[in-house]
Amino acid sequence: MLNTDITPLIRKHSPTLPDRGYVHVANNKVSGNRPVDIGYDISTVGLSVRKALYNCATAPWNLPLSMRRIPSDANRGTFTAEQLNDLLNNEALPFNKKLIVNALDSQYGTPEYIVDVADQFNLVSLIRMKNNRVVYDQLTLEEQEARRLANKDNRGTTAIYGEKHKLKELFEETVPADSCQEFSICLTSGRKCLVEVRIWENEMIRSKRGKSMKDKPFRLVNIKLKDPQTGEAIFKKQLWLAVCGKRRMELTGEEIFWSYRQRFDIEHFFRFGKQRLLLDKFQTPDIEHLDNWMEIVSLSYWLLWVSRKEADVKTLKWRKYDKRFQQRQAADLDPSPSEVQRQLSEIFLGFSETPFLPNSTKKGKGRQQGDKQPLRAKYKVVKKGKKKKKTSKKCE
């Protein structure tokens, strides 16, 4: 199970770093301020290793497999697809031999991402769909032949797209679902509810920007949480998912629900990486050092994961009454990343100091008197605008 998402890396006071652009950031401090800042977008593909246990708050471990800085002129869907293909095509990794489920947010529901990863046989993508999206039914062979016969002049290509549906117009009530599944869960707050999963097979979206979607149908999934007593929906907005991939039929409705619910684990990694691993605190005038720093943060998180067996499930005194902590302690589960980090110094002190002692070296000469360092180049912030229309030059 993989989770893929993008997080902003703010660098508004770094004019020597090239290719900085405007990124989206949440702004809840001052009302009316635009949620925009200057920096980079970081694309991350993580491996979800959370243990699926019923009614128990397990630690949200999400191991980063790849972290890359998105160029300002790159398309997010195309860039992420290339990043994911590099992982799945690596023969040294086990991803090309087993079924891979990748959970993504709504910004990846574009033809650029879906088309570029369509050749991965073992990959199934769970993409959240916006409530204002439009989908089309895929015509069967009989329906395609009927439309062809109804076309008197026999012009044009064979019709593939059928009836048009808008998700915001209560699509699940007007068009019957192909399958429906219902099961009960218990939220982390202790509230019990029913999960209703409805699935429509062979839905499609239109081809755009040169990416053909005519041969790439998907399963449209609607997930609704209901109160077990009244049967009414708990939340106002419903969850729509597009299940894409050649092996998409192997997932049941319950597996789709639990797979996408763990997508939020990558948000835990982003917060932990910025607050505890200094992901966005490293200051450097070189873009190469910034890219290397993301690799160091990834290795640091993997080091915490490897050290979890040496750490104990213990927390601060004021948090020992937390129900989630008590559940993990009673079930003898793995500690959280923050708990391992607090105990990591004790683990390191148990190692032999011999391999880590510094080697004796001669001091460098350093700068000589009169040496002058050249000034670093400063770059402007890249601002994306509307593309200018090409105008033909008139011959004199």
Residue 393 in any domain: the answer is: no
Residue 72 in any domain: the answer is: yes
pLDDT at residue 298 is higher than 50: yes
Give the Cα separation of 167 and 178 in Å (integer).
16
pLDDT grade for 117, boundaries at 50, 70 and 90: very high
| Structural domain for 232, as ranges | 2-148+155-341
pLDDT grade for 388, boundaries at 50, 70 and 90: low
CATH code of residue 10: 3.90.350
- Supply the pLDDT for residue 395: 45
pLDDT at residue 178 is higher than 50: yes
| pLDDT-above-70 percentage for the chain | 94
Give the Cα separation of 180 and 194 in Å (integer).
13
Q: Over the stretch 84-103, which tens digit does the pLDDT of each residue have?
A: 999 999 988 888 788 999 99
Structure token pair of residue 2: 């993989």
Average of per-residue pLDDT across 104-126: 94
Residue 387 in any domain: the answer is: no
Question: Would strands 239-244 and 123-129 be described as parallel, antiparallel, or unpaired?
Answer: antiparallel
- Supply the pLDDT for residue 386: 61
Q: For 364-395, b where at least 16 C-beta lie within 10 A, e where not — what string?
A: eeeeeeeeeeeeeeeeeeeeeeeeeeeeeeee
HSE-up (13 A, CA, CB side) for residue 36: 7
pLDDT at residue 174 is higher than 90: no
Count of structural domains, the chain: 1
Residue 349 in any domain: the answer is: no
Average of per-residue pLDDT across 167-189: 81
Residue 363 in any domain: the answer is: no
Residue 246, Cβ neighbours under 10 Å: how many?
14
Contacts with 121 (C-beta within 8 Å, 6 or more apart), sequence order: 246, 247
Task: Collapse the DSSP code of 292 into the 3-class scheme (helix H, G, I; strand E, B; otherwise coil) and give the result.
Answer: helix
- Supply the pLDDT for residue 144: 79
Q: E strands within 147-268? A: 161-166, 179-186, 192-204, 218-226, 239-244
Q: What is the mean pLDDT of the chain?
A: 88
Q: Over the stretch 35-83, which tens digit does the pLDDT of each residue have?
A: 899 999 999 999 999 876 665 678 889 999 999 999 999 999 999 999 9
Residue 196 in any domain: the answer is: yes
- Does the pTM surpass 0.85? The reply is yes
- Supply the pLDDT for residue 325: 78
pLDDT at residue 268 is higher than 90: yes
Q: Which of 318, 313, 365, 357 has the alpha carbon at shortest distance from 339?
A: 313
Among 285-294, 313-322, 369-378, top mean pLDDT goes to 285-294
pLDDT at residue 392 is higher than 60: no
pLDDT at residue 157 is higher than 90: no
Question: Would strands 161-166 and 134-138 be described as parallel, antiparallel, or unpaired?
Answer: antiparallel
Residue 360 in any domain: the answer is: no
Give the Cα separation of 67 and 101 in Å (integer).
19
Q: How far is CA 60 from CA 53, 57, 235, 330, in A?
A: 12, 9, 24, 17
- Supply the pLDDT for residue 55: 58
Residue reference for tokens 């148990």: 350
Select the more confidently predicted residue: 360 or 243.
243
Residue 370 in any domain: the answer is: no
pLDDT grade for 281, boundaries at 50, 70 and 90: very high
- Supply the pLDDT for residue 54: 60
pLDDT at residue 173 is higher than 80: no
pLDDT grade for 396, boundaries at 50, 70 and 90: very low
Q: Label residue 149 left, alpha or beta by phi (over 0 means left) and psi (-120 to 50 means alpha).
A: alpha
